[in-house]
Every structure is written in C-alpha cells, then in structure tokens.
Amino acid sequence: MNTLESRLSEALNARAEQVQPADLGPGHVPATVSPVRRRLQVGAAIAAVAAVAAVAAVAVSVLDDDGETGPSPAPQPTVSDTSNPTTDATTDPTADPEPAPTTNPPEGDLGYLLPFDTTQYVEPGTTVRFGDGETAAITGGELVVTGSGSVLRGPLEGIDPQDDVSITRVSLGQVGNGYLLAQTPGGDSQIQELYVAGDGGGLVLAQPPGDVPFGFGYAEGFPDGYLTWTAGDGSGLFTRVQLGDPAGNRWRVYRWEVTGPGEGGGPELLARDLVPTDLGVVCFGSGNPPRSVTPC
Amino acid sequence: MRRLTNMTTTSDLAAGSRRPLAAGDLAQLYAAHRLPLVRLAILLVDDRASAEDVVQDAFASLAGRLHKLRDPDAALGYLRTSVVNGSRSALRRRRTARAYVPPAEAEPPGPDDRAVLAEEHREVLAGLDRLAPRQREVLVLRYWSGLSEAEIAEACGISRGAVKSTASRALDALEQILKGEGR
C-alpha cells in the first residue's frame, strides 16, 4: 500500500470510528414476511385492484353512455412513470430485486430488438463518425462528441482511455443521444457504460439501477449472465438476462431509458439514471449475435 | 482497515443446514452488522441520520425476501449492495432537493463531526467528496471495507475490470486533488 492509499485508509478509518455503538439511534429489527403471508398480501392486492378496475369500468361505461368521453388507453410504462424523484423507484433499495412479472411472452413484432449492433473496437484517439456527421472520440481521458456546432465532453469513469473501445450511439428520447462505450479489459469480461448529456453541458455517466443489470457479465441474482446491446439502427438500448438452462436460450429483456430534463412533468431531474422497462421473456436464435427472436 | 465481508457471525447462521433464513437469523445479522454498515454508509453519505436510514432500509428490504435466502453470506452481500445503492439514492435526493432551495440555504449538509478529525484526515475526506460517486464507492469499499475486486463488483453492480480501472482512476484523481491543494 503506497502513501496515498495509507492516508486514505487512515482517514476513512478515523471517520468511521467516529460512529460508536452508543451513537446509534434505537434500532429495531425489521419484521420478516413469511411466504404464506406474502401470498395472502399479494392475493388481497390483486383482489383490490380487480375491484377498483370493476368500478372504473362502470364509470367509463357511464361516461360513454353520456357521450362525454371515451375510455383512455391503458397507461404504458414510460420514463416518467419511474423517474419521479420523490419516489426514486429505480434505485430504491427496498425494492424487490427480482424483476416484476410482466405479460409473457411480449406481444407484437419483436424485430426492433434486432440486429444487434456490431460496432468495431477502435484505438484511442480514433474518431467515430455517425450518419448525420456527428463524431465521437476518446481524447485525453474524455469522451468528446462534436456535431451541430457544439462540442460535448465528459470524463470517463470505468473505461480505460488507453485501451481500444467501441462507441455506439443510441437515441434516448428527451435526453437526446446516448453513447454506449464498450471495452474488453481481458478474458471474457467487458465494460459497458452509457454517457449522456448532463445538466452542466457536458457528458455524464448514466447510473444503472441496482435491481437490473446493465452491461455484460454475471452478478449475484443473475447467475446466468446478461448482455446489453443497441439495436442496429440506434433506436433502442436493451439488456437481456438469461433464464434457466443456457441451451434454452430464454432471456428476459429490458429496454433502457434515461431520466432527464422535463421527465415526469415536474421539476427537472438532475440525475441521469438508467430506467429499465421489462419487455418480457423471449427466445433468441442461436448464433452470436443472434439473427432471430421469437416469443417463448 | 475494516473487513466488512463474510464475518464470523454470518458463518454461524444457518450453519450447514441450507435452510431458508429466518427471523432469528435476521436478528443476528442486525446485531452483528448494523454498526459496520452504518459506518460504511456514513463514508458514502457523510451524515449519520441518512446513514442510519439507509441501513435500516437495507435490513427492511432483506426482511422482505429473507425466506428466499439460504446463504448468510449472500444476505450480507445483499445488505452491502443495498447500502451502496441506498447511499447513492440519498445523495441524489439531497442533490435534487438542494437545487430547489434558495441559494443562501443551499450549503451542503455539514459533515458535523468531521471538524474534530485531524487536518490530514479532513483533507483526504474533502478530496474524496470531490470524486464521482462511483469512484468514491469503490475506494471506500476497497480501502475501508477491505473487499476484494469481486466483492466490490457485486456491491456496485459493475464488472471486476471496471472496479480495477475505477479504483486506479479514482486514486489518480484524488492524488491530483490533494496536490492541487498544495499537500
């Protein structure tokens, strides 16, 4: 351990030691919830929702009869649904880390998940040019994006500026474009980070939530691996998490969006957080990258 | 350096039985790990009240899924991850709230009891405050909790390679900050 590391360790230790057992407030062990009780709670919740839905259906029916208004389409999950800063649902540590169940398989054409982008890795300093003339490059330890008369810069956090990197652009709605950087530090590991425009006019790293993995790898709770990719046309950013036997090629797929200015209709959010939407379980065809995807 | 990892008490829980963890196990985890987890949280959020809240939330979350766990070490890993995520959320909420108060009231929350620390330690901690949240988390988990790269990767939800590069860059940045202040 060098001098700086020793100084850091000692400072952290000194700060932590300031908290002694007697300083803590009266804690209490949280109550546990047994599986049976949990099921009953879920059942009661479902019943309550059904009752509310029934009442709502009656109300809508009455409105229709009066010719005042028709039923609104069911709300779809959006960034604003999950990005309310007062609830902070995406990173709430009390949220159940298991993905919420969704309608499976997903309905409709799944073609938007393909093709997987196959952007090549380039050496540091190489300028990557996108279709509309915008460019991106790793320069001086920063990601630098130039286009439409503006230059955005942001410091890299996990990406090594001295190593080869791939830069993929993805459209993220109100937040604008995101830039997915990938790097392979060794073996089969891979770093993937998404940078977006922050409030200060620079590029910042979008923070993933704790309950859905972002990037590539293996993690507790996701022992079968996960992978993040952009659709080939840059219209979507997705992560797939393998389910069960790898031979089954079944994956739970999430679409990513990013919180940002104006989201939620309230005060502008300052944070740039990745927000997953669970799209359901799909089966990819074999091959890497896969060339087909079907509901399963 | 504290080793906030698979402590002896966790290995005593549900020893060898592989039974689901129960309320008694949670009580033991709480008794054994509440203080070190609060200390971890305070290194990430700077104030004791927030740190205690973050840790209490982590235990509450664990309580809700305790029956799914059979490995006490996994429970501790879950708690650690919850504390890291909870601390980041607390910082984010604080930052958001700060943006909507009059400038005169927008001072950062005072790390009240830092004042009694040695000057040397205060300088290092002030430098740590200026790092990106992820960099700070990695350094705290590495140099205070004493976790391995794999454990830090799990706690932060990043790859081991990212842990290594983040730590390296964070140390470089910290060194530059301290040099910039003439230390």
The ipTM assigned to this model is 0.82
Q: What single-letter DSSP state applies at residue A264?
A: G
Q: What is the mean pLDDT of residues A123-141?
A: 89
Task: Choose among A15, A91, A159: nearest Cβ to B125.
Answer: A15
Whose tokens are 């790092």? That residue is B131
In percent, the amount of chain A with pLDDT more than 70 equals 65
DSSP string, B84-130: HHHHHHHHHHHHHHHTTS-GGG-PPPP-GGGGGS-HHHHHHHHHHHT
Q: What pLDDT, on a 0 to 100 scale, did the predictor assign at position A186? A: 59
Neighbours of B81 (CB within 10 A): 23
Q: What is the mean pLDDT of residues B99-128?
A: 65
Fold category of B117-183 in CATH: Arc Repressor Mutant, subunit A (1.10.10)
**From CA A10, how far away is CA B143, in angstroms rounded?**
9
CB atoms A207 and B88 under 8 Å: yes
Q: Taking the CA of residue B89 as centre, how many other CA atoms within 13 Å lie in the half-sphere pointing to its CB?
A: 28
What does the angle CA B3 – CA B90 – CA B76 come to, to the nearest 5 degrees?
A: 30
Q: What pLDDT, on a 0 to 100 scale, did the predictor assign at position A218? A: 66
Q: According to CATH, where is 1.10.10.10 located in chain B?
A: 117-183
Residues of A in contact with B117 (CB under 8 A): 11, 14-15, 18
Cis? peptide before A295, omega within 30° of 0? no
Q: What pLDDT, on a 0 to 100 scale, did the predictor assign at position B49? A: 87
Q: What is the mean pLDDT of residues A197-214?
A: 84
Question: Nearest residue on chain A to B96, judged by CA atoms?
Answer: A270
- Name the residue type at position A137: A
**From CA A108, how far away is CA A295, in angstroms rounded?**
9
Exposed / middle / buried, residue A162 (Cβ in 10 Å: 0-12, 13-18, 19+)? exposed
Cis? peptide before A105, omega within 30° of 0? yes
Residues of A in contact with B27 (CB under 8 A): 29
Greater model confidence, A161 or B13? A161
Task: Choose among A19, A156, A220: nearest Cβ to B74.
Answer: A220
Q: What is the mean pLDDT of residues B109-119?
A: 66
- Name the residue type at position B82: S
pLDDT of A235 > 50? The answer is yes
- Residues 70..99 of B with a Cβ closer than 8 Å to A: which? 74, 77-78, 81-86, 88-89, 92-93, 95-96, 99
Residues of A in contact with B43 (CB under 8 A): 12, 15-16
Residues of A in contact with B62 (CB under 8 A): 30
Q: Which one, of A162, A136, A109, A158, lies nearest residue A293 by Cα?
A: A109
| B13 and A CB contact within 8 Å | no
For residue B146, what are the CA distances in angstroms to B6, B30, B151?
A: 11, 20, 9
- Sorted by where each begins, the domain ranges of chain A are 107-295
CB atoms B64 and A33 under 8 Å: yes
CB atoms B92 and A88 under 8 Å: yes
Greater model confidence, A188 or B67? B67
Taking only Cα atoms into account, the Rg of chain B, rounded to an integer number of angstroms, comes to 18
Closest Cα in chain A, distance from residue B106 (Å):
15
| A30 and B CB contact within 8 Å | yes
